Amino acid sequence: MEEMLQVKNLSKSYGNLTVLKDISFHVKKGEVVAIIGPSGSGKSTLLRCINQLEKADGGEVCVCGQTMFSSDESGKAVYSSAQILREIRLKIGLVFQNFNLFPHMSVLRNVTEAPIHVLKQPKTEAIETAEKLLKKMGLLEKKNSYPCELSGGQQQRVSIARALALHPEVLFFDEPTSALDPELTGEILKVIKELAKEKMTMVIVTHEMAFARDVANYVVFMDGGFIVEAGTPEEVFSNAKSERTKQFLERYHNG
């Protein structure tokens, strides 16, 4: 199977604080990888490095065979040309915890904005795609509403439609349900499960353990900036090797 994402020995510090150490994992086409771990373990920073919102210090990241950065002899990350970085950026999408919709734009414009202005799609084509995606998200009747007029779950579905409108090869989610009420969480998890069924390649940071177990092909447990353990859901959730993993999962079990 085709490699969509390769992360090798990625490291990142903020000043004296080492946040990511020697992070390596890869994602094949159509796979879903769940990243779990306690608060502060570096999950968001990892996603931000892969999505070019932060610069990594060292290691290597390749997206669909294109190198975003790799290390020189001293181990320092050397980034590819602006052109390649732009091409890579267009291959990946990120859905945030807090939706990050444009508040002054209608739902429809939130979804068509980047296709029209970044991909230079004709307006009619962008609108057609957006309406299709909004329909899929069950939100077509809300296309002229503004984000503030929607529930959190609806806003998150708009932001998923917005990410999908750019036809990403890999879609990243950073705790897509943690800002939502439990009732609204279910509707987002359902949408993500649907995407998994359609073989969308996804990397999902989540605190929803039952969901991770259900939807992921591969689970990565991070703590203190390291990958402590990684494997199939069965291996990580039922047969964890590391005491630290067991301890983390145990705490989840006990609420």
Ligand X SMILES: Nc1ncnc2c1ncn2[C@@H]1O[C@H](COP(=O)(O)OP(=O)(O)OP(=O)(O)O)[C@@H](O)[C@H]1O
Bridge-partner residues for 204, per DSSP?
34, 173
Residues forming contacts to ligand X in the complex (CB under 6 A) are 14, 17, 19, 37, 39-45
- Give residue 80's identity as a one-letter amino acid code: S
- What stretches of 76-211 adopt beta strand conformation (E)? 77-79, 92-95, 170-174, 201-205
Looking from the CA of 131 toward its CB, the CA atoms found within 13 Å total 8
Give min distance, CB of 3 to Mg ion, in A.
Answer: 25
41 binds, among Mg ion, ligand X, none (CB under 5 to 8 A by kind): ligand X
Give min distance, CB of 246 to ligand X, in A.
Answer: 19
40 binds, among ligand X, Mg ion, none (CB under 5 to 8 A by kind): ligand X
Quick one: which H or E segment has residue 131?
A: helix 123-136
Minimum CB distance to Mg ion smaller for 70 or for 97: 97
Which residues, 6+ apart, have CB-to-CB distance to 26 below 8 Å? 3, 5, 6, 7
147 binds, among ligand X, Mg ion, none (CB under 5 to 8 A by kind): none
Site for Mg ion in 5-64 (CB under 5 A): 44
Give min distance, CB of 50 to ligand X, in A.
Answer: 12
Minimum CB distance to Mg ion smaller for 46 or for 127: 46
58 binds, among ligand X, Mg ion, none (CB under 5 to 8 A by kind): none
Looking from the CA of 99 toward its CB, the CA atoms found within 13 Å total 22
Positions in the binding site for Mg ion (CB under 5 A): 44
